[in-house]
Amino acid sequence: MTDLELAETGPAAPPRANGELVFDAPWQSRAFGVTAALAEAGRLDWADFQAALITSVGHADTDGEDTGTPDRYWRCWLDALGTVTGAAGQIDPARWRERAEVFAERSPGHDHDH
Amino acid sequence: MSHDHTHTPDPADPAIRTEAIESLLVEAGLIDPKRIDTLIETYEHDLGPLNGARVVARAWTDGDYRNRLLADGTAAIAELGYGGAQGERMVVVENTDHVHNLVVCTLCSCYPWPVLGLPPSWYKSPEYRARAVREPRSVLAEFGTTVADDVEIRVWDSSAEIRYLVLPQQPAGTDSMGEADLVELVSRDSMIWVRRATEPNPETAT
């Protein structure tokens, strides 16, 4: 099993509670898992990703946002994932936006009955 | 519509964007969705759920125990030496092909500590607690769990007096596995039931 070196301290360090990674919402663990799966498959350079993450967190800091919260951190993570997969030609940012729009347009209540 | 859907997803919503980027990467054949689940489990600390996992593995391998567990969760769990929190009743609900169960505590974040250890942060989030009741399928989808339309989803609201534990379905092809090996397939998330119990690695299963 790949052992990803997640930073313990510093701006690229994910929020932890009692040593445990903190995910405040399911999408955060999903964003993490997608990135880890890509790295494990040899399709994402971990050092490049860490660098993109630090940059992303840096931008959020400049905007005056609290990057210590899980929500802000994992949004930065997601942006960094977009950056590196974009640079590698794996994800086209326009296609990503389109796909997000398609998902957003699914009608409310599409997934359950009353 | 019998209720008001106030939640209108925004394409800039990180949950939507995450789902979107995952779908593109999977379509491109760059990642295997099953590896995602396994990796999340690996990196999340897993103390405590081992007790619950042993209960589930015992129920999978011992039909009489399974029946006792569904009839009186507290007593059956205590048989394995777990329990001991003051006064809470454990109720175990079983997933079948037709019914899947999901556990939440809408009022706070009641959680069966003796069998599942520390609750994950997302379980305690107001967002999960509200959405699990309103739109369980969406919540499950965000965990990467799809449920067929003809399967009923029951959401169990834990309270100070009653804590629910889901008995997930035993993964296919594991009938010959021993209890000790089955324990490894049962994740904490599969007992709250936001994810199915793990399928064994096809390369190592016989």
B141-146 mean pLDDT: 87
In the predicted structure, residue B143 carries a pLDDT above the cut 50:
yes
A57-61, B126-130, B197-201: which has the highest mean pLDDT? B126-130
From CA B195, how far away is CA B193, in angstroms rounded? 5
In the predicted structure, residue B39 carries a pLDDT above the cut 70:
yes
Is B23 one of the annotated active-site residues of the chain? no
From CA A78, how far away is CA B176, in angstroms rounded? 41
In the predicted structure, residue B205 carries a pLDDT above the cut 50:
no
Q: What share of chain A is helix, strand, coil (3-state, %, to 5)?
A: 55, 5, 40
B22-51 mean pLDDT: 79
In B, minimum Cα distance to A36 occurs at B39
Q: Do B143 and A31 touch (CB under 8 A)?
A: no
Average pLDDT, chain B: 81
A60-69, B117-126, B192-201: which has the highest mean pLDDT? B192-201
Average pLDDT, chain A: 80
Vertex B158: Cα angle to A31 and B75 (nearest 5): 115
User: B179-191: per-residue pLDDT in tens?
Assistant: 988 888 887 778 8
DSSP readout, A72-106? HHHHHHHHHHHHHHHHTTS--HHHHHHHHHHHHTS
The pLDDT value recorded for residue A1 is 32
In the predicted structure, residue B86 carries a pLDDT above the cut 50:
no
A3-12, A27-36, A78-87, B189-198: which has the highest mean pLDDT? A78-87
* Residue B206 binned pLDDT confidence (cut-offs 50, 70, 90): very low
Cβ contact A88:A38 at 8 Å? no
Cβ-Cβ contacts under 8 Å for A106 (sequence gap 6 or more): B9
User: A63-112: per-residue pLDDT in tens?
Assistant: 766 656 778 888 999 999 999 999 999 999 999 999 999 999 886 655 55
Question: Can you say whether the dihedral through the CA atoms of B129, B132, B134, B135 is positive or negative?
Answer: positive
Higher pLDDT, B104 or B86: B104
- Nearest by CB to residue A37, choosing from B36, B118, B136, is B36
Identity of the amino acid at B15 = A
Q: Report chain A residues whose CB lies below 8 A from the CB of B152.
A: none
In the predicted structure, residue B121 carries a pLDDT above the cut 80:
no
From CA A82, how far away is CA A103, in angstroms rounded? 17
DSSP readout, B112-171? -HHHH-SPPHHHHSHHHHHHHHH-HHHHHHHTT----TTSEEEEEE--SSEEEEEEPPPP
In the predicted structure, residue B97 carries a pLDDT above the cut 60:
yes
- Nearest by CB to residue A1, choosing from B9, B25, B42, is B42
B152 inside 8 A of chain A by CB: no
Cβ contact B158:B105 at 8 Å? yes
From CA A23, how far away is CA A60, in angstroms rounded? 19
